[in-house]
Structure 1
Amino acid sequence: MRRAMNIVPGRSARLVLAVLPFLLIAFLYVSASAERRVANPNDKLLPPVSEMVASVTRLASEPDKRSGDLLFWSDTAASLTRLGTGFAVSAALGLAFGLVIGMLPMVTAGLAPLVAVLSMIPPMAILPVLFIVFGLGELSKVVLIVIGITPFLIRDLAMTVGTIPREQMIKAQTLGASTWQTMLRVALPQTMPRLLEALRLSIGPAFLFLISAEAIAAENGLGYRIFLVRRYLAMDTILPYVAWITLLAYVFDFALAKIARAGFPWAYVQEAR
């Protein structure tokens, strides 16, 4: 008997199955919006698609009267700059400490418990502390992202190093490799694919920390704009911004996946079978 768990859809069927939920969501939204507008022509909760398109077009193509900026693009640039900086710093710290903690037992004994405790601290709980220490500028927002995802990266990469077969380490030492050379030539190449996968898993939390910081103290950014217009119940702006943030996160995830598979194809041989 053919079981459902053994049915693998082809490329065309996979595409249809992937698009179908989005079409269903769009249909439900349009239907609900039309029903609410029939009951109340001034309803703001579920604006028609035409209103959202008009709002985004205005923000993306008409200069702001106060600043002269195209708000949609300036908000996007500000948020992506903060996110990119936080990601770069977190990746560097996560890789460095992850390798050291995973490779050196003495460092593992000293730092692993500390990193484990730090990873349990809710980053949003210390956001006021960051604003007090680093001010309300860009640094506090970047630091929040770094604090939010770096401990996770360190623990994940340290565990990845710990799963490298011991035989490889012994062979490298037998051939005369020092600890530093073993770390760079054996551990680092096998850790890089996992770093990219861990960064993919961190995209959602990173955006959460970014939007939260921008909502509290910022003069631009996607999160700032959403929380600025909420007082006017401007769902025709809020919903497109949320959709845009989601699209950006998906693009980042897709790009990291492509980079990982192009740069380290040997790590995904099992998936290709």
Structure 2
Amino acid sequence: MKRLINLRPTAPFNLMLGLLPFMLLIIAYMAGSDARLELNPNDKLLPGLEQMGGAIERMALEPSKRTGDYILWTDTASSLTRLGLGVLIAASLGLLLGLLTGALPLVSSTFSPLLTVVSLIPPLALLPILFIVFGLGELSKVMLIAIGITPFIARDLQRRTVEIPSEQIVKAQTLGANTSQILMRVLLPQLMPRLIDAVRLSLGAGWLFLIAAEAIAATDGLGYRIFLVRRYMSMDVILPYTAWITLLAFLFDALLAWSSRRLFPWHVQGAQS
């Protein structure tokens, strides 16, 4: 008799098991929605699929009467621009700090304590300061994302740099490599796939900071729209927008994973072995 810990589902059964919780959630939601709408056809708490479909059509396929924009796509473009810039800045700074503090003891002694302290500061507590310093425009929102996830990326890459076998550095020095050559040709290539992994792990926090910043001070964006319509209890808009954000996050993560496999196949093979 096989123990439960040793059972491995086949590929089709594995897919079915993965889809099962989603199907149960959808069924439970539809049952609850039907029950509430039967009692009150104007209920807003659990809108039906028809109501949400109408809201999606209105937000995505019909131009706004006030601006002429297709609201869903305008909000999506604004949010992705802010998130992309913030993540790009964080990845660049995190890579630089992680590489230097992990490889150079003098730099580590100087900046590692500061990096540790900054990583302990709740980024959302800095939001009022960012609004005061950078204003209510795009820069403050991008900076919140960058400040929020840079310490995580930097500390992760610092640890990865320290884990690289010292024999590689010794061999490079034996062959005449100087410090910059060791950094660029020995350490950096091994950190690039780790950087993608760190960015993937930090995306959840990046989305959180983006939504928070847009909810407080913005005139467009996915987070702005959700908090704008909540005053009207427009769950038929909030739920599709939340699902859309989840889908975008999944696609962003899948794109990074695909890029890692394409650019650094040796890293994926090493992780699986």
Cα deviation, residue 202, structure 1: 0.8
What residue in structure 2 maps to residue 155 of structure 1? 155
CA distance in 1, matches of 2:3, 2:188: 42
Q: CA RMSD in A?
A: 1.0
What residue in structure 1 maps to residue 131 of structure 2? 131
Paired letter, 1:189:
P
Q: Percent identity?
A: 57
What residue in structure 1 maps to residue 246 of structure 2? 246
Question: Map of 1:35-46 to 2, 5 A cutoff?
Answer: 35-46=35-46
Cα deviation, residue 271, structure 1: 4.8
What residue in structure 2 maps to residue 110 of structure 1? 110
User: What does the per-residue CA deviation read over 1:48-89, in whole Å, with 9 as the maximum and x for residues that have no partner?
Assistant: 011101101111111111111000000000000000010111
CA distance in 2, matches of 1:66, 1:76: 18
CA distance in 1, matches of 2:247, 2:191: 28
Paired letter, 1:181:
Q
Task: Structure 2: give runs of 5+ residues left out of the alignment.
Answer: none
Secondary structure of the residue aligned to 1:45 is: coil
What is the total number of aligned residue pairs between the two structures? Answer: 273
CA distance in 1, matches of 2:245, 2:181: 41
User: What does the per-residue CA deviation read over 1:162-188, in whole Å, with 9 as the maximum and x for residues that have no partner?
Assistant: 000011110011111111111111111
Secondary structure of the residue aligned to 1:194 is: helix
What residue in structure 2 maps to residue 212 of structure 1? 212
CA distance in 2, matches of 1:14, 1:260: 24
Paired letter, 1:256:
L
When the two structures are superposed, what TM-score results if normalisation uses the length of structure 2?
0.98
CA distance in 2, matches of 1:158, 1:270: 20
Question: Map of 1:61-100 to 2, 5 A cutoff?
Answer: 61-100=61-100
Cα deviation, residue 269, structure 1: 1.9
Cα deviation, residue 190, structure 1: 1.1
Cα deviation, residue 272, structure 1: 4.0
CA distance in 1, matches of 2:14, 2:151: 36
Task: Structure 1: give runs of 5+ residues left out of the alignment.
Answer: none
CA distance in 2, matches of 1:269, 1:112: 32
Question: Map of 1:140-219 to 2, 5 A cutoff?
Answer: 140-219=140-219
CA distance in 1, matches of 2:136, 2:63: 26
Paired letter, 1:63:
P
CA distance in 2, matches of 1:92, 1:262: 21
Cα deviation, residue 270, structure 1: 4.5
CA distance in 1, matches of 2:219, 2:262: 38
When the two structures are superposed, what TM-score results if normalisation uses the length of structure 1?
0.98
